[in-house]
Amino acid sequence: MRQASFPREFDYIIVGGGSSGCVLANRLSADPRNQVCLIEEGGSDNTPRIQIPAGTLTLYKSRKLAYQFFSVPQADLDNRRIHVPRGRGLGGSSIMNSMIYIRGERSDYDGWAVQGCTGWDYASVLKYFMKSEHDCLGLDPRFHGTGGELDVTTPREANPLSRMFIKAAEQVGQKENPDFNGNTFEGVGIYNVTQRDGKRLSAYRAFVHPVRNRPNLHILTGMTVKSLITRQNTVLGVNVVHGEQQFGLFAQRETVLSAGAIGSPVILMASGIGRGNDLVGAGISVIHELQGVGQNLQDHVDGLVTVRSDEARSLGFSWRSLPAVLSSPHKYALWRKGWLTTNYVEAGGFARTPLADGVPDVQFHFVPGFRSHRGRLFEMGHGFAIHTCVLRPRSRGEIRLGQNGMQDIQIDFRFLQDPRDGQVLKEGICLARKILAAPIFDGIRGREMAPGQDIVTDDELMAYIRRGASTVFHPAGTCRMGTDADAVVTPDLKVRGMTGLRIADASIMPTLVSGNTNAPCIMIAEKAADMILSDRQR
């Protein structure tokens, strides 16, 4: 990155080199008149752990490549602290996610519009999804683009058990869906992924790496944004720390926060923008009272059904799988085939429980390998599992700063605070069990390790959820978009009561989308860039 010597003034400053920030950096710097600065606290993505799809399993506990956040004890999850890793480096969480390309249900966006977010209905945002997409599969052109930077394709070599999952779901009444991002959302199938030539295609690799040498694009890594520089409710730039140096960077036009559902509200609060009483309690002077900052936190709470099996075709380590394991580097290097191509959740889908209100309320992520019932990232042996998450959670949490400010980030999901979320998850786990009980699995059936064959009653399942449920890492909503007094940003993503400041990332979602969040974050940035560039023409 060109940071040995760099200017201190730009037209636009983008804080955060994740999925949204990378798109903004590309689009805003496409006009050579715009001097654009992209700031990322992490560093390079140049490691096989990121580029090889199977490497994702090694990233969740990496202190170099992921922020290791933990929630406060969750009262309705047996007071457990939930692990919340987020990507740290150019590409943000797109360097460590499962690469699944899902946009969500169209009613998600229509619901945003009903809440007053004009221009965010499905028909309006579809063009932004299509703009960034390069469909490699020849899907319906009414819903898919082919001219974008982001390749959307299928896994190079899906595990045979992933195909069995689809057949099993069909045997219990679900339908196969070849395109979750087309005309129909509900059903099961092989997920599309953001990969190119069998490698992870992060937002950085898709949108910034090809244009990194633009003379008007300044990519600054290893820099921590401590706060915004403000004067009378106008944002002038950001205060940053780089090594032992502290200095300001200034934006002549706008500063855009794209630091994610955790980072963006934290930067606002550290700058004195937020709930006054909370800021004073954290030792921060209030410059702008904005009640919604850090509120409205949502995530997909998740439960696991995992089965031990002797099936050596599943992803796992044993003497019978040794040939596949030993040959995998060779297969990957020569043909981009074999075990190293997996994202571990190649198949899944969207289904309705008896509690659903017309649209799917749970999502499945099928793992063609044994998923530890003890919470470990890795265990020897074989098996298969289904993760089930609540797509439309009603529980709402918050992010706040403790007495040590940015060194004391308190994440409180308040999972299952609304009892209906627990009921939906219980029904989803029952449906997952039903799928795993389908006849196609008879030949490889093993012992259910979690919840466990003895866990059968509603009370037993709810107790299992409280002691084992977690998250699929989709935090959102903490800088909510809207038109009411508690909204943080208006539908044009400008922070209410401030000048020269927008937010573009998952934090602006009024309600969490029904599915994985990477593609929606890219869409949000595409629309944000359009609005920013439109304002520049005025």
420 burial (CB, 10 Å; 0-12 / 13-18 / 19+) is middle
Residues 6+ apart with CB under 8 A from 271: 227, 228, 230, 287
The contacts found for 451-455 with CB under 8 angstroms, 24 or more apart, are 451/305
Q: Looking at the annotation, which residues are catalytic? A: 474
- The two tokens of residue 461 are 């399942």
3 state SS for 290-341: CCCCCEEEECCEEEEEEEEECCCCCECECCCCHHHHHHHHHHHHHHCCCHHH
Helix H or strand E segment including 165: helix 160-171
What distance in Å separates the CA atoms of residue 511 and residue 497, rounded to the nearest whole number? 22
Is 345 among the annotated ligand-binding positions?
A: no
Q: Is 463 helix (H, G, I), strand (E, B) or coil?
A: helix
- The two tokens of residue 525 are 């940035």
Nearest alpha-carbon partner for 144 in 183, 117, 114, 111: 183
Q: Which amino acid type is present at position 479? A: C
The CA-atom distances, in angstroms, between 398 and each of 413, 457, 477 are 6, 32, 9
Q: How far apart are the first and last CA of the chain?
A: 32
Alpha carbon 369 to chain centroid distance? 23
Q: Which residue positions form the known binding site?
A: 225
Q: Which residue positions form the known binding site for FAD?
A: 225
